[in-house]
Structure 1
């Protein structure tokens, strides 16, 4: 078993990077509108570029910037034009990638489409449901990650899926669920939402963990440790926001199955 400070050897760079990203993210979420749209579009484009780089040998990566621009541009245009009109552009990077890549086509097409659709969902969550619900989503994902990180290293125990993600433990996984329920309880107290929010928060935590483990499986398949080296202590944007992708996609489905937000319309615009 790893002892002492070695268990937290990556904590300082992770914490500093998270602080910077947190400040930028909170400011953009709070401002909403063009600021949040631009941030989401940039993040989507960067993640698609990272995905392309992971799946493509270095000599053949010349199309990565083009596919990234398509993805980010689709998200940005979804804030200007009706979403239904822009939906073909959401899938254009995946379709183009099938023709441009020489391998891993289906993996790029499927994962790439999810990245862009998650960007659509995040922006329109802010626009349609308001500030508090983006913070709820982000809070669930961050709590899942942070408490999972510390519980996994302090408590340890059986691994979740050691062949794909050697550091993830069942203790960290369950700690993420508990932490997400606490976030849901806080938002319930703030907004008067129904008790359904507790179940939704835990489910969102699970979706975030599935997003995380899916990206780990992709990296394991192609033999890379990180999606890129853009963020000290975290790797790439895809490494940092894989959980957000899973949660955002899941929320897009949940919105069609339950009344969301889970209370009357009076507070929906908070």
Structure 2
């Protein structure tokens, strides 16, 4: 593998014995009225006001994240490196806090170490750079009191996905835009199809709301993005099947994070983003998709996935 001047070419889940906890506040949302009672249609005024208040917060948070993402992706270079390094540090902090919230200082040091290691890895010759990626998983596994293998595996996967995002942006902004569009299309079409069609659950023990109809619709959304790349960007037809695989990887990224949170007994990775939870809650699908895309491009080369 190469440094940043290189190309990409180069058990069942059950609740943990931890005391259940949620990072989210349990108080009613403050974005609307807290009047009690029901309106003429039999709908709770409190619930309705809280629902719309939370929606406003979610939309505002999403708009801010989108604006930052667009600007930094457009700028590229060191600015994109900084964003990825910061995000990975936060995600590792969330990971450690979900496992052992009683020791926040330890989680913070793991986050700082992650940022330092990834920063060094991006500018280090390939063999030493990838050796650095083992530092945080190993030290975290030694420091944490439980779920050591889970932490090590997840932390390593996050770092590899972050490295992949940097390499994709270095090769071409269009690659990164395509990846993001695949994840968004899969998520949006899957959500609405699942809500409208319902049907059998995809993996009820881990993610009770996900349905097969939504999952398959998500594949269709990813394929549509691939077709758009063929028609409008001149990519070859291989990108259609690659889009479906990457879209499914994004869905599994979401499933894996849901399984991890269920195992830890938490609702959200953290409460850093108002109305959304944590960074892992928002970018789990993107990280899963990036990890698999990097693997595909390493095995097949860009031409093998239609790029």
2:158 to 75, 97, 115: 115
Q: CA deviation at 1:12?
A: 4.4
Query: Aligned to 2:102, what secondary structure does the other structure show?
Result: helix
Comparing both chains, which one has the higher relative contact order based on Cα–Cα distances under 8 Å and sequence gaps of 6 or more? 2
Q: What is the TM-score with the length of structure 1 in the denominator?
A: 0.89
**Structure 1 residues not aligned, in runs of 5+:** none
2:287 to 227, 235, 245: 245
Measure the CA separation in 2 of the matches of 1:220 and 1:31: 37
Indicate how the Cα distance of structure 1 residues 137 and 156 shifts in structure 2: closer, same or farther if over 3 A, else same: same
Indicate how the Cα distance of structure 1 residues 30 and 261 shifts in structure 2: closer, same or farther if over 3 A, else same: farther
2:259 to 210, 217, 232: 217
- Corresponding residue for 1:24? 68
Partner deviation per Cα, 1:206-265 (whole Å, 9 max, x = no partner): 10111110110011111101000112232110011111111111012101222305589x
1:159 to 164, 188, 201: 201
Written as runs of structure 1 = structure 2, the 5 A alignment for 1:249-264 is 249-262=291-304
Written as runs of structure 1 = structure 2, the 5 A alignment for 1:169-184 is 169-184=211-226
**Structure 2 residues not aligned, in runs of 5+:** 1-42
Query: Aligned to 1:167, what secondary structure does the other structure show?
Result: strand
- Corresponding residue for 1:79? 122
- Corresponding residue for 1:185? 227
Select the structure that is richer in helix.
1
Q: What is the TM-score with the length of structure 2 in the denominator?
A: 0.79
Measure the CA separation in 2 of the matches of 1:50 and 1:13: 21
The 4+ residue runs of structure 1 with deviation greater than 6 A are: none
- Corresponding residue for 1:141? 183
Indicate how the Cα distance of structure 1 residues 109 and 154 shifts in structure 2: closer, same or farther if over 3 A, else same: same
Q: CA deviation at 1:11?
A: 5.0
Measure the CA separation in 1 of the matches of 2:255 and 2:182: 17
Q: CA deviation at 1:81?
A: 2.7
- When the two structures are aligned, how many residues end up with a matched partner? 259
2:135 to 92, 117, 121: 92
Query: Aligned to 1:59, what secondary structure does the other structure show?
Result: coil
Measure the CA separation in 1 of the matches of 2:259 and 2:81: 29
